[in-house]
Structure 1
Amino acid sequence: MLSLFSLPRRIPRLGPKALRGLTLTLLLGGSLTASAQTALRVNQTDHPLDAYAVGALRIALEYIEGDYEVEVGRDPITQTRAIERLEADQMDVMWLASNREVEEQLLPIRFPLLKGLLGYRIFIINPKRQSRFDQVEDFEDLKQLTFGQGAGWPDIKILESNGLEVITTSKYDNLFYMVEGGRFDAFPRGVLEPWTELAAHPDLPLAVEDNLVLVYKLPFYLFVSPDKPELAQAIHDGLDQALAAGRFDEYFYGTDMIEDALTRSNLKNRRPFPLENPTLTEETPLEREEYWLTLDDL
């Protein structure tokens, strides 16, 4: 370990800027500790939505008073485990597709990070059945189809409450084999999801349906612990300011994941079927039109 006596005898000459910085450091002393960065702990898996959410959080911090930094862990944990860490104060911020149940458990920052894009659902189908979808002109035609979902998924309640027939399975991978085999007609997926999923199942002759899209409000929020309302408000304010400045939309539309999904899904040329979402809370900011993507925006 170095002592004062082991330091070099020749001290380099400091310029005026360096001397002012050294003097300020000596004068402020311990007060520098008080101005240290505040770490916001998050966990980012290899799912592209995680990288997007971290990027959105960083943008919010650009507009927040104070010196924050995002501290990123990279554990391959489940959503349930992430919630447990947030509640145990082992994380500060996480993100989820929201519903009434999770908003009762955690504190939501009610700014839809994906502008509602998760609620635009297109279908994975067996391409031999495309002609059946070509004949869908109205909601009565849509109700003649059957839709696959994983057991316990919140979308089940949305689809069923709008009069659509849902067939479920407890295993996610089964859904791809079931739609290929005709156990149901369509597997609805958010526009960010189907091409990655099809690439992960190259053994199955599946495709994305050409013409239809279900549309319902499905917010994707940041969440914090209920014990941190000040943090929630600060992040929300930062996101609002970023949106007003055009910075947030620049990030949203400029993200490869979003740009690719909007291009490949061809949303603006699909026949939309609006659905009600009974899982939304009364506090969902539906009146904030600038928060939500519409087909007219494309």
Structure 2
Amino acid sequence: MPRPLLMTTTLLLLSLSISLPSQAQAPTKIGTMPISSDLDRYAVELLKVVFEHTDGKYVQVPQTGEQRTQGRVIEDIKNGVTQIMWAATDQTLESELTPIRIPILKGFLGHRIFLIRKGDQARFDHVKTLDDLKQIKLGQGTTWADTKIMKANNLNVVTTQKFAGLMYMLDGGRFDAFPRGVSEPWSEVNFGGLQLEVEKRIMLIYKMPMYFFTNKSNGALAKDIELGLNRAIADGSFDKVFFNDPSIRSALEKADIKNRIILHLDNPTLSKETPINRPELWLDVNSL
């Protein structure tokens, strides 16, 4: 008689072990780019919210060490050293890595205001259209994505390789305005003791999304990031991170966008998959 009782107990325990939920797996550690700027800090904060919307499957571990070139980070992604990077997109980058096509900065990079020479504001007070702007020489980096966009819109662009060179060329009258991202000119206006100021009336806007990118072989991670981003957009936590970011909030306040003339440019460098028909993904300056 003892043997059947032992067998019954064993079967019962086996049944219970099968029916009980298995212990939750520890979240997968995801390596991200080092934090070396306000933008990096923002991206890490947003990614934290994204992972909170993916059922605790992941935890990010920012890489340590010095700032790396974009080329180096791309290689780190391809080699599996890093799992996620963020960058302004172009078709070449999208061919090398998997883009998660939700602009993590709501297209903020494509909002440009000018550095000009101190005392030149009156010249820009007369600019009201793109045709007016074509009479103004704009400075840009030779290889910058913005340069291609401005040239494609037939603006008068003067280029050189180095950022410092552009600042000195502006001061020296080689061109008349240096388009900068909305958050950039406030810390640059005193560069090298030059006599510069931030132009007060004009803003260029073009679609220039910054995406999260993953290795092409890591499709599951890319899908989970997209899911987390869409969930964060739907419940408002995405916008909460964006509008509460100190550097973004400060830039929007200083730029005084509501009192600027907005000139829209086409961006022919975007891939056809860019989500331009999802207005909730882009910053609406008319709502500020």
**TM-score by structure 1 length?**
0.87
The question of 1:51 aligning with 2:51 is answered no
Q: Which residue of 1 aligns with 2:166?
A: 175
Name which of 118, 140, 157 aligns with 1:149: 140
State the alpha-carbon separation in 2 of the partners of residues 56 and 286 from structure 1. 21
Q: Which residue of 2 aligns with 1:3?
A: none
What residue identity is the alignment partner of 1:294? D
Name which of 256, 261, 268 aligns with 1:266: 256
Equivalent position SS for 1:122 = strand
**CA-to-partner distance for each residue in 1:240-296, whole Å, 9 max, x for gaps?**
101100111111101101100100011121000000001100000011110011111
Equivalent position SS for 2:179 = strand
State the alpha-carbon separation in 1 of the partners of residues 25 and 205 from structure 2. 46
State the alpha-carbon separation in 1 of the partners of residues 75 and 163 from structure 2. 23
**CA-to-partner distance for each residue in 1:53-83, whole Å, 9 max, x for gaps?**
1111111001103431110113221111111
Q: Which residue of 1 aligns with 2:127?
A: 136
Name which of 204, 210, 213 aligns with 2:200: 210
Kept after mapping to 2: 8 A contact 1:111/1:221: yes
State the alpha-carbon separation in 1 of the partners of residues 253 and 64 from structure 2. 30
Equivalent position SS for 2:193 = coil
Pairing of 1:11-22 with structure 2 (within 5 A): none
State the alpha-carbon separation in 2 of the partners of residues 67 and 160 from structure 1. 44
Q: Which residue of 2 aligns with 1:13?
A: none
Measured on the aligned residues, the alpha-carbon RMSD in Å equals: 1.7
State the alpha-carbon separation in 1 of the partners of residues 36 and 278 from structure 2. 31
Q: Which residue of 2 aligns with 1:69?
A: 59
State the alpha-carbon separation in 1 of the partners of residues 252 and 33 from structure 2. 27
Equivalent position SS for 2:36 = coil
Name which of 82, 96, 106 aligns with 1:115: 106
State the alpha-carbon separation in 2 of the partners of residues 45 and 57 from structure 1. 13
State the alpha-carbon separation in 1 of the partners of residues 107 and 235 from structure 2. 20
Kept after mapping to 2: 8 A contact 1:44/1:51: no
State the alpha-carbon separation in 2 of the partners of residues 146 and 102 from structure 1. 29
Equivalent position SS for 1:158 = helix
Pairing of 1:1-298 with structure 2 (within 5 A): 35-75=25-65, 76-199=67-190, 201-298=191-288
What residue identity is the alignment partner of 1:172? F
Q: Which residue of 1 aligns with 2:14?
A: none
What percent identity do the matched residue pairs reach? 43
C-alpha displacement of 1:33: 8.9
What residue identity is the alignment partner of 1:108? P
What residue identity is the alignment partner of 1:150? G
Equivalent position SS for 2:232 = helix
C-alpha displacement of 1:196: 2.2
Q: Which residue of 2 aligns with 1:21?
A: none
What residue identity is the alignment partner of 1:128? G
State the alpha-carbon separation in 1 of the partners of residues 23 and 247 from structure 2. 39
Q: Which residue of 2 aligns with 1:7?
A: none
C-alpha displacement of 1:190: 0.8
**TM-score by structure 2 length?**
0.90
State the alpha-carbon separation in 1 of the partners of residues 74 and 208 from structure 2. 19
How many residues were matched structurally? Answer: 269
C-alpha displacement of 1:45: 3.4
Structure 2: tracts of 5 or more residues without a match? 1-16
Equivalent position SS for 1:166 = strand
Kept after mapping to 1: 8 A contact 2:35/2:62: no
**CA-to-partner distance for each residue in 1:86-109, whole Å, 9 max, x for gaps?**
111100000001111111111101
State the alpha-carbon separation in 2 of the partners of residues 202 and 59 from structure 1. 39
C-alpha displacement of 1:198: 2.6
